[in-house]
Amino acid sequence: MFALIKLEEHGLTLIEVLAVLVLVALLASTVVVVYIPANMWLQQARFETAAIFYARSILENLRADKDKVNAGNQGKSADEIWADHKYKPAQLSDLTSTIDIEKRPGELSHLFNVSVTVNWTEGVKSRSLVLKTVINSKKKGLDD
């Protein structure tokens, strides 16, 4: 007598589409919340690594040119000591350096405590880094 007509459903309802959009929005916002701080930390690490390499290049230049390790260069920058010291990281254009040289007293007077302070700006925040070492002012092969 009466025949039941079976309808086959195809596609998604509006509520199912909205539910998927809400889930995608939650997932995307979570990714963005994690990505932004991580990206800032990576940039800070990149700047700090560049500053470390710059400070190490200054210390290596002082080790190579022991005549520059003296009280006359106390408080100077690398640019003031070496006119040809051109290495500055591109991402740190406002980079400045200060070299502190302190002669040790007594029997250790041939040793100098040397520290290099590097300053730069990240956005509105000023950052600095200090590397310290001891440099022997005696030339190799000389017995004093």
What digits encode the pLDDT tens for the residues 26-49? 999 988 888 888 888 898 898 899
Question: What does the pLDDT average to over 61-70?
Answer: 85
Longest CA–CA span in the chain (Å) reads 121
45 touches 21 (CB < 8 A): no
- State the number of CA atoms in the 13 A half-sphere of 21 facing the CB: 7
CA distance linking residue 142 with residue 111, whole number of Å: 15
11 DSSP assignment: S
112-132 b/e (C-beta count within 10 Å ≥ 16 → b) = bebebbbbbeeeeeeeebebe
Residue whose entry in the numeric block shows the structure tokens 């040809």: 84
pTM above 0.75, yes or no: no
Reported as type and span, the H/E element at residue 33 is helix 14-64
Inform me whether the pLDDT recorded for 144 exceeds 50. no
**CB distance 101 to 128 below 8 Å:** no
Is a pLDDT exceeding 90 seen at residue 22? yes
